[in-house]
Chains A and B, each alone.
Chain A
Amino acid sequence: MTAAQVVDRYRAQHEAFARNGGARVPEWVRALRAGALARFTELGFPTTKQEAWRFTSVQGIAETAFAHGATGEVPAAKSIERLELCEARRHLAVFVNGCFSALLSSVSGLPAGVRVSSLADALARDPELVERHLARYARLEDNAFVALNTAFVQDGAFVYVPEGTVMEEPVQLLFLTAPGSEPTVSHPRSLVVVERTARVSVVETYAGQGDGVYWTNAVTEIMVGDGARADCYRVQRESERAFHVATTQSWQGQGSVLSFHPVVFGAALSRHDIGAVLDGPGGLCTLNGLYLLAGRQHADHHTTIDHARPHCESHEYFNGVLDDQSRGVFNGRIIVRRGAQRTDSKQTNNNLVLSEEARADSQPQLEIYADDVKCTHGATLGPIDQRALFYLKSRGLSPDEARSLLTYGFGAEILERMEIAPLRVQLERLVRARLLRRARARRAP
């Protein structure tokens, strides 16, 4: 199939979508979609000839005919329980194949003025509020996937915390793909708006049921106002044959704090572009990510932290654990704009490579246009530390125990920075379960 044919398929799909399900929206949304589709048509899917996609081929996505808007079978409430990673159940919004499920969601007890709803609902009820923020942060001009997501924008999560409101319980967003008979695509779009001095934690989970092929093309925009704080967690547990492409774009005002914690367990192929703009003095941004890959999994993280104003701090920690023939790609771009003096930026990417056939690529990319700044970066890549292994053995641990403890430590280092204790405990459990499965598979002949 040629690139033009691929694009035509999505144009046809978009026509059907614009006529049917996507019809009842304000005029500006229709215009936004049309513009986005036009841009996608121009861009087409990226190829490995493009620098930003050098290590990650999306040919598998381009060549698969994904059905859009599939309803699938709505999962039983019981089956999603294991996917809820927090104890808090009062602010849970569940999306199945990209659409809000009122049946599975339970949103109650929100403080005055706080919204946790579907984006479709917000577009109907608060169009002006949504218009002020939607598609204002994630740029579609140079990213075909953001353009495509925007072209199909309809449903997704909307979280709004008004000025000065501190949310005690985290908001949970669960994006679930239920199996259909043919490959399906969903374009979940989420918008998190945290107004001045407000505070919230959000946990996004992406998961699939069954072992079918599907594609999640997600975009999340996060706006953190002056003096506000957002702690955002993201757990990617897509099923084994899934494709997962995502962009998370944040914008921060003066003296604001954002922490973002993406954890990757699933999908055959995943690509996550994370962009953070520090657009007010005194902002703090922490990116704290972990990817645990095995089999032939491929996970690519491209991060861009844009220090646009002075006196901001960014801390970036990404750890990868790579087994079998898996591959991890990390690209960490830091931009320090002219005038962004006193920037303090730190980046690390550590990869534990457990098998000869696994591979990690790590690339820092520093673009500094101010002179009074502190920027450090470092990457490591290698097998288990033999000195550490011997140290543990000399304390009585078996080689297997020692190896899995050291591997676990690689993940735990990232999980430790997460402040929601029940979530952290669940993730620790998931990491341990993953390692146990690996250890068993290794022992089996």
Chain B
Amino acid sequence: MLQIKNLHASVDGNEILRGVDLAVNIGEVHAIMGPNGSGKSTLAQVLAGHPAYNVTEGSVLYEGRDLFEMDPEVRAREGMFLAFQYPVEIRGITNAYFLRSALNAIRKHRGQEELDPVDFLGVLEEKLKVIGWDDSLMNRPVNDGFSGGEKKRNEILQMAVLEPRLAVLDETDSGLDIDALKTVASAVNKLRRPDNATIVVTHYQRLLNYITPDYVHVLSGGRIVKSGGKELAHELEAKGYDWLKAEPAVA
């Protein structure tokens, strides 16, 4: 589904990603961990197509196609979804209106009929149940005045509505209380299907108690320095990252 090869990316002339290699197959869940500032969000933003990041070397294939040939909105319509570490506020636009616009953009791309507000309400109600929300945040401007945890849950709601093929969750667990963490994890699990894949960026192994990853990777200094199974997360929890920095990069 996703093949990242020797990816280098820089921002404002600083090289942040220095040769990332990663392959994600259909049906898999990958966890990416790593110290602050190691480039996890950069990787996520590069995948989503943020214009501030310059790809200087390497390639990414998404479902066999060159990802960098696709504009950000095309990536989204082709099923890629990034849950932002810092979701953005949109003034004046209600959450419901925003969600419907996004869903319709994707439906149009797929040749499906656009949903009117009434039909959309049906879809929304069902998805709200998945994340255990009522509709009280639906008529408020997107993320405007939302608490940190509400913003994160709102990202998951968007994911539930848009039904991506590849979801990248950038620290969606940070700032969540324990109940919210369980809700988010169970939402992610419910949305898991044999034909999609998920990458979760996280600092905490506790999320991985709920979302069981097939692989765990450690990103450090702009490279994946170690990969393993879910037990690697436990090891990191116990030992931290220092012991890895000395080790050579795992190709």
Contact = CB atoms under 8 A, between A and B. Distances in A.
B90 A391 contact: yes
Given A394-B48, A394-B49, A409 B73 contact: no
Interface in A377-410: 385-388, 390-399, 401-402, 405-406, 408-410
A359 to B, nearest CB: 21
A409 B105 contact: no
Nearest to B93: A409
B62 interface: no
A409 B141 contact: yes
B108 to A, nearest CB: 9
A154 B75 CA distance: 64
Contacts of B90: 388, 391-392, 405-406, 409
A396 B92 contact: no
B102 A395 contact: yes
A8 interface: no
25 contacts: A385-B88, A386-B51, A390-B50, A392-B98, A392-B102, A393-B49, A394-B73, A394-B81, A394-B82, A394-B84, A395-B98, A396-B76, A396-B109, A397-B73, A397-B102, A398-B73, A398-B105, A399-B73, A405-B90, A405-B98, A409-B90, A409-B92, A410-B91, A414-B92, A416-B92
A68 B66 CA distance: 69
A395 B91 contact: no
Interface in B23-81: 48-51, 71-73, 75-77, 81
A102 B57 CA distance: 75
A66 B243 CA distance: 85
B106 interface: yes
B92 A393 contact: no
Given A387-B88, A401-B105, A395 B162 contact: yes
Contacts of B82: 394
Contacts of A410: 91-92
B101 A397 contact: yes
A411 interface: yes
Nearest to A319: B92
B89 A405 contact: no
Nearest to B144: A413
A416 B102 CA distance: 21
A70 interface: no
A412 interface: yes
B79 to A, nearest CB: 10
Contacts of A388: 88-90
Contacts of A391: 84, 87-88, 90
How many residues of A sit at the interface, in one of the four size bands?
A: 20 to 34
B105 A397 contact: yes
Contact of A413 (B51, B71, B77, B141): B141
Contacts of A405: 90, 93, 98, 101
Contact of A395 (B50, B51, B105, B141): B105
B158 A395 contact: yes
Contact of A393 (B71, B87, B106, B162): B71
Given A387-B88, A401-B105, A413-B141, A394 B76 contact: yes
A277 to B, nearest CB: 30
Contacts of A390: 48, 50-51, 72, 88
A398 B88 CA distance: 17
Nearest to B72: A393
B179 to A, nearest CB: 27
A18 to B, nearest CB: 49
Contacts of B88: 385, 387-388, 390-391
Contacts of B89: 388
Interface string A308-324: 00000000000000000
A397 B72 CA distance: 9
Nearest to B107: A396
Nearest to A412: B92
B84 A396 contact: no
A396 B106 contact: yes
Contacts of B109: 396
Given A390-B51, A405-B93, A395 B76 contact: yes
Contact of A412 (B50, B84, B93, B101): B93
Interface string B149-188: 0000000001000100000000000000000000000000
A393 B76 CA distance: 8
B76 A411 contact: no
A394 B73 CA distance: 5
A266 to B, nearest CB: 22
Contacts of A385: 88
A387 B90 CA distance: 10
